A and B are shown apart, each in its own frame.
Chain A
Amino acid sequence: MTGAVAVSAASRRPPRPHTAWKGWLVVAVVLGITVWTGIAIGVNIPDLLGNWRNGLANMGALTQPDYWFFPQTLPALVETVQMAVMATAIASVVGLPISFAASRVTNPSRPAMLAVRSVMNVVRAVPDLLYAAILVSVVGTGVLSGTIALVLFNTAIIVKLVSEALDAVDTGGQEAALAAGATWPKADRAAVLPEILPSFASQVLYTFELNIRASTVIGLVGAGGLGMLIDKVRTFYHYHALSLIILEILVVVLVLEVASSSLRKRLTR
């Protein structure tokens, strides 16, 4: 009896899938590409090891910031914060309505929504420093070019993040508003906006964080802020001054990150 059962049970076994090769293939491909890219960019280990002593000396200089340099960095630091604040403010005001146009939940017209999304994806594809470099040539060095560059960069990010949140929002209130005879813009404003506000505020804070980091470096191409100071200082290899600037950047970024992350947790509770 048992023998008969065992035979019939065994004959019902499915064939063993042989898909492990897929995983190994991916690993092999990745490794292959990595080796190829390594050669292309000129991985140079001997030089690296050779210059190590030089590097160590500089690293040493970096750990001894020149605190007396601090007052000279203040104007640049203030500029950095100003740019970040202005750009975040403008981008959030401009970005919110565009986000509504870019989400399939709030925009009844699919072609219009796709058009807005595509334009925003294109704008997002250009890194912030690139915008800054071009704008400096067009507008001149200083805070204006940096702010405009950041606004472009931020609006695209806010639109992407908020429209993704909108895609997932609870649409019950919107359904009721439409059934009560409201037009789409009215329904979105009255029923969807309150649902998305905490997420929106959280994304604005995140963008502000990104802005502080970005505005510290866009000065490298002349767009104002701490970056311009870095540029001045590195050409003279003043590592102690450079180290102070880096320390300032670190402090500002870390303080902001802590404040912002606790605020964001409270918002999205």
Chain B
Amino acid sequence: MAGHVPAAASGIHFDGVGVRYPNGTVGLTDITLDIAPGEMVVVVGLSGAGKSTLIRTINGLVPITSGRLLVGDRSVGRLSGRRLGDLRSEIGMVFQSFNLARRTTVINNVLMGRLHHTPTWRTLIGAWSAADREIALQALERVEIVEKAYTKASELSGGQQQRVAIARALAQQPSVILADEPVASLDPPTSHVVMRDLQRINADLGITVVVNLHFLDLARRYGRRLVGMRAGRVVYDGEGADADERVFADIYGRSITAEDVLDTRVHP
């Protein structure tokens, strides 16, 4: 298959990373974390704990203000312009609100994953290369939604849109996939489908996957490694299987409520 193929999956290395916003608030404090290539990590914590900030430092959407952050062998803090674009093209991101271009077709959305590798003049006239189209179609096949390739994105359900978003990330042929609360807008059965997709991608393709979740049962079920955050710091780093209610209560700083668990919402 033609097309750019990046190096094998990248590891992520946080070394004393901190994020301080211009108005003085602190997003992250002294994060030291090592994620091996091909690992799947689930990050949990309350709203405001820093999960989103952590994920967005990895592809440079949030700039770090102290420490060192390595993705593969590149230091994110030092990158800008074209090289930051290079890094971002190897990191796929899945958002809570899907972030699709709603008025255009599914395949055009997935092709956005190939933007970095396409010359600007081709983008301007909408002439994607045949190789890129093939990559996009195969990504859609992998998430099993290829029959919707020419449907308008806004006509899909939430779960389908998220799968298209995952296909877009796959089309980048990334070495890392970041998912920021990918299932927060989805109902329980769809959430499981999406989480299993991410898990399979990690298992089959060996891509490093970092997922933010705030549903504890999902975290435990799909996260072999669990990282807990509170107030901008890492407070737990261990096996998902080992994390019981006490561990979660520790991470959250309070006892668990029904809001923190996905499947109890189905049976109130």
Contact = CB atoms under 8 A, between A and B. Distances in A.
Interface of A: 170, 172-183, 185-187, 189-192, 194-195, 197-198
B92 A190 contact: no
B100 interface: yes
7 contacts: A176-B100, A177-B112, A181-B87, A183-B85, A186-B115, A190-B112, A195-B104
A87 B102 CA distance: 32
Given A173-B99, A179-B93, A194-B104, 9 more contacts: A170-B102, A173-B100, A175-B99, A176-B112, A180-B93, A181-B85, A186-B118, A186-B123, A190-B123
Q: Which of B89, B115, B123 has the most CB of A within 10 A?
A: B115
A180 B169 CA distance: 8
Contacts of B89: 180-181
A33 B113 CA distance: 60
B86 interface: yes
A102 B263 CA distance: 48
Interface string B44-85: 000000000000000101000000000000000000000011
A174 to B, nearest CB: 8
A179 B61 CA distance: 7
B115 A181 contact: yes
B111 A182 contact: no
Q: Which of B86, B97, B112, B172 has the most CB of A within 10 A?
A: B112
Contacts of B172: 180-181
B108 A190 contact: yes
B59 A185 contact: no
B233 to A, nearest CB: 25
Contact of A182 (B92, B97, B112): B112
Contacts, number: 90
Contacts of B225: none
Nearest to B93: A179
A182 B171 CA distance: 13
Given A180-B115, A183-B85, A190-B108, A172 B120 contact: no
A176 B108 CA distance: 13
Interface of A is mostly: helix
Given A173-B101, A181-B85, A195-B103, A190 B111 contact: yes
Given A189-B123, A190-B108, A182 B115 contact: yes
Given A177-B115, A181-B116, A185-B120, A194 B101 contact: yes
Contacts of A183: 85, 120
B215 interface: no
Contacts of A174: 101
B247 to A, nearest CB: 31
Given A177-B115, A179-B61, A189 B124 contact: yes
Given A177-B115, A186-B120, A172 B85 contact: no
A190 B99 contact: no
B102 A195 contact: yes
A141 B172 CA distance: 57
B165 A180 contact: no
A170 B40 CA distance: 32
Contacts of A181: 84-91, 115-116, 172
Contacts of A190: 101, 108, 111-112, 115, 123
A180 B101 contact: no
B93 A176 contact: yes
B111 to A, nearest CB: 7
Contacts of B86: 181
A188 to B, nearest CB: 9
Contacts of B87: 181
A194 B112 CA distance: 13
